[in-house]
Amino acid sequence: MREDGKIDYVEFPAKDLPAVKAFYAAAFGWRFVDYGPDYAAFEDAALDGGFSARPDEPRPLVILYAHDLEAMEVKVKAAGGVVVREIFSFPGGRRFHFRDPAGNVLAAWTAA
């Protein structure tokens, strides 16, 4: 069950999606779901995640779950985090990115 503020997903950079998918499938038996030409989610890796060919987002990106995304954004800001990408929609949900006081960029998401 998904819980507020718990690590729920992780994204890694991958300029060559076919090659990285072939590697992880062969080495570890992971399966993939493609979401367009620049994103592939992985399964069977103990933690959900994906590979992104998009160069505009920091990587790796640890993603936390939020039952109420707007409330989570308020908590992040109140605790000293800085929103670096406002809430946006993507296939399957919505999320925002934030920087913690140490300079790490993370994201929080909620299902659609």
Q: What is the pLDDT of residues 59-78, one digit of tens each?
A: 789 898 999 999 999 999 98
Q: Is residue 1 part of a domain?
A: no
Identify residue 7 by its one-letter amino acid code: I
Please count the structural domains in the chain: 1
What is the tens place of the pLDDT at every residue in 31-50?
A: 999 999 999 999 888 788 89
Please report which helix (H) or strand (E) contains residue 19, including its range: helix 17-28
At 28, the pLDDT band (50, 70, 90 cuts) reads confident
Please report, for the domain that includes residue 73, its CATH number.
3.10.180.10
Burial category of 101 from C-beta neighbours within 10 Å (exposed 0-12, middle 13-18, buried 19 and up): exposed
3-state secondary structure 31-79: EEEECCCCEEEEECCCCCEEEECCCCCCCCEEEEECCCHHHHHHHHHHC
Q: Which residues form the domain of 12?
A: 7-111
- The predicted model gives 18-35 an average pLDDT of 88
